[in-house]
Amino acid sequence: MELFELNIGQIHQGLVNKEFSATELTRIFIKKIESDNPKIFAYLNFDKEKIQSEAISQAKEVDELVSQKKDISLLAGVPFAVKDNILVKDIRCTAGSKILENYIAPYDATVIKKLKEKKAIILGKTNLDEFAMGSSTEYSAFGSTRNPRDLERVPGGSSGGSAAAVAADIAVFALGSDTGGSIRQPAGFCGVVGLKPTYGNVSRFGLIAMASSLDQIGPITKTVEDSQTVFEAITGKDPLDSTSVEPKLQITNCQWQIKDLRIGIPKEFFVKGIEPEVEKNIKDFIKKLENEGVKIEEISLPHCTDYALAAYYLIMPSEASANLARYDGIKYGFSFQEAADLKEVYFLSRQKGFGDEVRRRIMLGTFALSVGYYDTYYLKAQRVRTLIREDFKKAFEKVDVILTPTSPTLPFKIGEKITDPVSMYLADIFETAVNLAGLPAISIPGGKVGELPVGLQIIGKPFEEKNILETSKIFEKII
């Protein structure tokens, strides 16, 4: 295997055994990014003066520790990428938007601070749909990312740059954010592993907010084992994030037995709209599970399929419209200098700084929160959210985890859905309910249709990442 193909555990063993150095590894990744990124455009910011020089400096520190025969963490010397809505001190952070094109982060996000303490090495900032609003990474203000499995297709979104970087072997792992499927869907499209933790299990401090009750940071990796390693490094309560909590269940090394598993299959998820190839792939895998002795239970999540997407596209834009009100052309970010007066500064800065999809969602959210419509739309959506939580609660009385497709479609072609927002929104139909309920979920590679990956989504009870990770390890062997 080439060094850039190694996973976290293999890199750790190689460094400890002095088969290669962290500096050598980092230089190999830098060279590969310079070679491959122009055709994929996974990285938005790969600054030679700042990021690359800092990466080499960090790698030399790890090599010094190894030479002194000191213990190093599993993540020490491991090169990784960061979605460009997560702050890294002194590095430009754009959120994929012109309005933040020249914004320099004044501090590290908590997850970055934790990974720096483990001596993981930052390679650069990855592309995303503007302010994480999208399902294809075509809404980035700086250009579209391409899927490494087929350069004519999208990598999914909004963490498409992060998923593409891992799939193309130009990062060992990456951080993404998931508001309505934005880690899992691109992981599924790119054939890698994407973990969306329980809401509150990972600090959001330093994540540029889109919808504060839905956003969650998580890892995109090559293997489930890698996902667990990164998750353990970034999880935990943070005094800087009041919504973060102490984990109720710690990750352990317990091994699930196949015969003990009870897998729930929502009958409503195999509905009109799912592509036949995706449906066949998932059903074939379910048969494999049954042959292995796994208990398959049909369950019902009626409010999830009928109302989750509609509720999500009221709650998320409402919260986004409030969060994005801070970008007014005055405090920071882009400011339209040719304005005639203060009112025009506000209007023109936002008009020129925000893209079409961001403006669309701000208008939707502002309307849903306006006088006379709040009860009809936003409040009703929150009531539906409660019903969705109850659906999952009842389902988990019968089963350990729930299995669904990650996406109803295969990766679609670039430009295929960009002019049809509703069609684009439907790409997240299997994922938004998880965010509304605050549950943990993971997407793992579930085979291929031709050369295109199909993702499997495994959903767990709140704070039971352990269960979905252990289940995923079993699934990896069966697939």
Residue 270's pLDDT band, with cuts at 50, 70 and 90, is confident
Sheet holding 295-299, edge to edge: 43-45, 121-126, 79-83, 173-177, 217-221, 193-196, 441-449, 452-459, 401-405, 262-266, 295-299
Q: Are 157 and 135 in contact (CB under 8 A)?
A: yes
Residue 181 CA to residue 105 CA, distance in Å, equals 26
* Percent of the chain whose predicted confidence (pLDDT) is above 70: 98
Strands 43-45 and 79-83: unpaired
> What is the reported pLDDT for 252?
47
Confidence of residue 50 (pLDDT cuts 50, 70, 90): confident
Residues recognised as catalytic: 83, 158, 182
Quote the Cα angle for 91-97-100, to 5°. 50
Rounded average pLDDT over 391-416: 96
Backbone angles phi, psi at 293, to 5 degrees: 95, 5
Across the chain, mean pLDDT equals 94
Question: Does position 226 have pLDDT exceeding 60, yes or no?
Answer: yes
pLDDT digits (tens, 9 = 90+) for 177-201: 999 999 999 999 999 999 999 999 9
Q: How confident is the model at residue 253 (pLDDT cuts 50, 70, 90)?
A: very low
- Angle, helix 302-323 to helix 380-395, in steps of 10 degrees: 130
* Cα–Cα distance measured from residue 40 to residue 70, given in angstroms and rounded to the nearest whole number: 38
Query: From CA 90, how far away is CA 104, in angstroms rounded?
Result: 6
Where is 314: in which H helix or E strand?
Answer: helix 302-323
- Other beta carbons within 10 angstroms of residue 20's beta carbon come to 16
Where does 250-294 have alpha helices with state H?
276-291
> What is the separation of C-alpha 69 from the centre of its chain, rounded to a whole number of angstroms?
36
Can you read off the two tokens belonging to residue 74? 């599993």
For residues 411-421, average pLDDT: 92
Q: How distant is the alpha carbon of residue 396 from its chain centre?
A: 24
CA distance linking residue 76 with residue 120, whole number of Å: 5
Domains and CATH numbers, the chain: 7-234 (3.90.1300.10)
pLDDT in tens, 304-337: 988 999 999 999 999 999 999 999 999 888 999 8
C-alpha–C-alpha distance, residues 194 and 176, integer Å = 9
Q: How far is CA 234 from CA 102, 134, 295, in A?
A: 28, 25, 33
3-class secondary structure, 34? helix
Under a CB-based contact definition with an 8 Å cutoff, are residues 350 and 116 in contact? Answer: no
Which of 132, 122, 127, 164 shows the shortest CA–CA distance to 144? 127
Give per-residue pLDDT as tens, 354-399.
Answer: 999 999 999 999 999 999 999 999 999 999 999 999 999 999 999 9
Structural tokens at position 376 = 């009809």
Give the global pTM. 0.96
Whether the CA torsion 101, 107, 110, 113 is positive or negative: it is: positive
Confidence of residue 271 (pLDDT cuts 50, 70, 90): low
